[in-house]
Amino acid sequence: MIYTPRDGGVTNGVQCNGTGVNSSNSVSDESVESMSIECWSVESECDVTSQDSGSPPVYIQAADIRKRLSESLLNVPHFSHDPQDPSAAALKEPWSKKELRIKESSPYGHLPSWRLMAAIVKSGDDLRQELLASQLLTLLQKIWDTERVPLILHPYKILCLSDDSGLIEPILNTVSLHQIKKNSQLSLLEYFVKEFGDVNSEGFLVAQKNLVQSTAAYSLVCYLLQVKDRHNGNILLSSQGHLIHIDFGFILSLSPKNLGFETSPFKLTLEVVQVFGGTDMFCYFKILMLQGLIAARKHMDKILSLVEIMRAGSPLPCFKSGGATVQNLKNRFHMSLTEEQLQVLVDKLVDSSIHSLSTKLYDGFQYYTNGILL
């Protein structure tokens, strides 16, 4: 399971030779560990040489490095709330301020090439299935961009180091729906009003549009790829109002405990629809889904080829059904239907998802077993 800022933990920076990396090792029901270290190359016992391309070398005393590192560890930062950034309320510190704070304490912060990079370090998990999902999301986003369909996905990068370890790029400035409810006790609509302004304000309308476009995109992804385990800890909200799904450990022919409990085409709750604000945006949501499905059908062969390549000889659990996995994926593109028939299908999928009993039961199951709020 991919780490989300569900429990409000703050991850410190890890940087090496002018490049920072956020490191946390987190699995469901396990603690999140974080650390802050500095790495440097020592040329002699008393100084360090730091050289940027095209610039003369800068000599830094080793004693100065030790002093600055000691001060950065002893001085506990005071986090401030940023009302323009919903993630700040959950993560205690916006990413921009974290980057500035670590840069100021870094011996290499003066270098033009200095950057702070975030990464989640995973051990004991096979990330190849996550990599497949990331590649499919990236492909779908390129397809929709090519076809000029305004659907928004946020695929994140995956680096597999072995069959049981790797790095995951975290999505910055986001907060899970679980954490919104845990920290604010507000409905999603009330939270939008609190963060983005009145329902008729420009800020709210922009965030509302972002929510509709991203929800339609991930609804199609969840339907086509049969993404399961969709509880509120695996769904994030960005500081611009985008809804973002993470943790694709159960896709295609795989479901938690192999129970097939989630029978809904995708997760769409009345609480999210309430933020849509009425008939116009709800119809826009369904139009986007129809346009997105039509665009995906045009490039179906690219999607199927990627899945088929990954399936050949693969031990991944999502391919346990063998060739039937690819065939079932192909069937969900409904190539035999006209566009008018596709519109009827989309209406049925949306209606079935909104009123899905299995979605409510699965959210209840996650609440009682893992404490994830509905």
Q: Return the HEC string of 298-348.
A: HCHHHHHHHHHHHHCCCCCHHHCCCHHHHHHHHHCCCCCCCHHHHHHHHHH
Q: Which pLDDT band holds residue 66 (cuts at 50, 70, 90)?
A: low
Residues 6+ apart with CB under 8 A from 364: 374
Domain covering 126-156+173-370, topology: 1.10.1070
- Residue 167: the pLDDT is 94
62 phi and psi angles, rounded to 5 deg:
-60, -35
Chain region(s) in the chain for CATH 1.10.1070.11? 126-156+173-370
36/228: higher pLDDT: 228
Residue that has been written with the tokens 């890890």 in this structure? 14
pLDDT tens-place string over residues 161-173: 998 999 999 998 8
| Longest pairwise C-alpha distance within the chain | 75
Helix, strand, or coil (residue 286): helix
CA 264 to CA 262: how far, in whole Å? 6
Q: Averaged over 192-201, what is the pLDDT?
A: 94
- Residue 256: the pLDDT is 73
235 phi and psi angles, rounded to 5 deg:
-125, 125
pLDDT tens-place string over residues 274-305: 999 989 999 999 999 999 999 999 999 999 99
332/65: higher pLDDT: 332
Q: How, if at all, do strands 13-16 and 38-39 pair?
A: parallel
Q: Which contacts of 72-75 are long-range, i.e. CB under 8 A and separated by 24 or more positions?
A: 72/36, 72/102, 72/105, 73/36
pLDDT tens-place string over residues 313-336: 888 888 888 889 999 999 999 999
CA 55 to CA 170: how far, in whole Å? 33
* This prediction's pTM: 0.74
pLDDT tens-place string over residues 13-62: 444 444 444 433 333 333 333 333 333 333 333 444 444 445 555 556 66
Contact call for residues 62 and 47 (beta carbons, < 8 A):
yes
CA 297 to CA 79: how far, in whole Å? 48
- Residue 98: the pLDDT is 86
- Residue 15: the pLDDT is 42
- Residue 37: the pLDDT is 33
- Residue 371: the pLDDT is 85
Contact call for residues 35 and 10 (beta carbons, < 8 A):
no
- Residue 284: the pLDDT is 97
pLDDT tens-place string over residues 76-86: 444 444 444 44
67/270: higher pLDDT: 270
364 CB-contact burial (10 Å; exposed 0-12 / middle 13-18 / buried 19+): exposed
